Amino acid sequence: MGIFGRKNTDTATAVATLPVDPALAALTGQYTIDPAHSSIGFTVRHAMVTNVRGSFAEHEGSLNLDGSNPGASSASIDVKIASIDTGIGDRDGHLRSGDFFDAEQFPLMTFRSTQAEQLGGDKYRVTGDLTIKDVTKPLSIDLEFNGTATDPYGNERVGFEGSAEILRSDWGLTWNAALETGGVMVSDKVKLNFDISAIKAAA
């Protein structure tokens, strides 16, 4: 079962030849991302030899899923930069500072989807605009649809997990320090990780 249909330039033909899966159509609706059961994190190489992992504890967002016309589905996420957590207080403070995110002046990182397409099976690619500080650039996120469930409280949930890679310098995050042995303290490449659980709004 899928969320997003394959990209097709002949919309009329696609509608005429592809019947709507009733199970897919039933997913149609507005969903709110559940921050207590979702995570937005990152991995970056440190000193050329190891990885530092972190996450953002505070975020909110919504999914608008259209099962009858999957290409009309959309996603919106706001992440509070000050909630960054790598497990080391001094490092988190440095990341919040003007050397990196400048959380006081730019408190939010945002993503607004503009397109989605099916790659095969339950794998998808969602493309949109990622804004960090005062820079907005396109980002494509590869996602896997993990299915649906009704939790013990009667909430209808959908789940996705996925990842993307960016160059932080593209968003103006350029601070670094040279190592005596060669190379730099922080890699330019950053891997973003998403694990999303979203609850369907009551009809």
pLDDT in tens, 67-113: 777 778 899 999 999 999 999 999 999 999 999 999 999 999 999 99
Which of 134, 160, 141 has its CA nearest to residue 149?
160
- pLDDT at residue 8 tops 60: no
Instruction: Write the DSSP symbol of residue 184.
Output: B
Average pLDDT along the chain: 88
Give tens-digit pLDDT for 16-35.
334 556 776 788 999 999 99
Average pLDDT over residues 131-146: 95
Structure tokens at 172: 């103006």
- pLDDT at residue 169 tops 90: yes
Tell me, what amino acid is at 156? Answer: E
- The answer to whether 125 touches 88, Cβ cutoff 8 Å, is no
**Could you give the count of Cα atoms lying within 13 Å of 202 in the half-sphere of its Cβ?**
2
State how far the Cα of 114 lies from the Cα of 124, in Å rounded to an integer: 14
pTM of the model: 0.86
Vertex 162: Cα angle to 67 and 176 (nearest 5): 140
State how far the Cα of 25 lies from the Cα of 46, in Å rounded to an integer: 45
17-26, 118-127, 149-158, range with greatest mean pLDDT: 149-158
Strand, helix or coil for residue 186: strand
